């Protein structure tokens, strides 16, 4: 299970979704729940910095980590 969301990793809704899945669906999981989200920093105003801030920049790495488990 991969949870991807645009909110910050810490304190975001993705953490709650991952916790619920881990609590209620653990027996059906083949790997741990992986979360991919935005950085735990204020949202930057510069477009180049904003692109790095969003979780989609780290999505490929998260998918590879999940597949290689």
Query: Any idea of the CA torsion for 17, 5, 56, 67, to the nearest 10 degrees?
Result: 10
Q: Which residues pair with 2 in a beta bridge?
A: 34
Which residue ranges in the chain fall short of pLDDT 70?
A: none
What φ, ψ does residue 29 adopt, rounded to 5°? -85, 140
Q: What is the pTM of this model?
A: 0.80
How many domains does the structure of the chain reveal? 1
At 9, which CATH number?
Answer: 3.40.50.920
From CA 62, how far away is CA 47, in angstroms rounded? 23
pLDDT at 12: 87
Write the pLDDT tens digit of every residue in 19-37: 999 999 999 999 999 999 9
The boundaries of the domain holding residue 6 are: 2-67
């Amino acid at each position: 299970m991969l949870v991807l969301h645009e909110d910050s990793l810490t304190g975001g809704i993705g953490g709650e979704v991952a916790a619920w899945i881990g609590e209620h669906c653990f027996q059906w999981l083949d790997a741990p729940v992986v979360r991919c989200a935005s950085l735990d920093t204020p949202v930057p105003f510069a477009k180049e910095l904003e692109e790095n801030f969003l979780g989609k920049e780290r999505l490929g790495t998260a998918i590879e980590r999940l597949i290689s488990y």
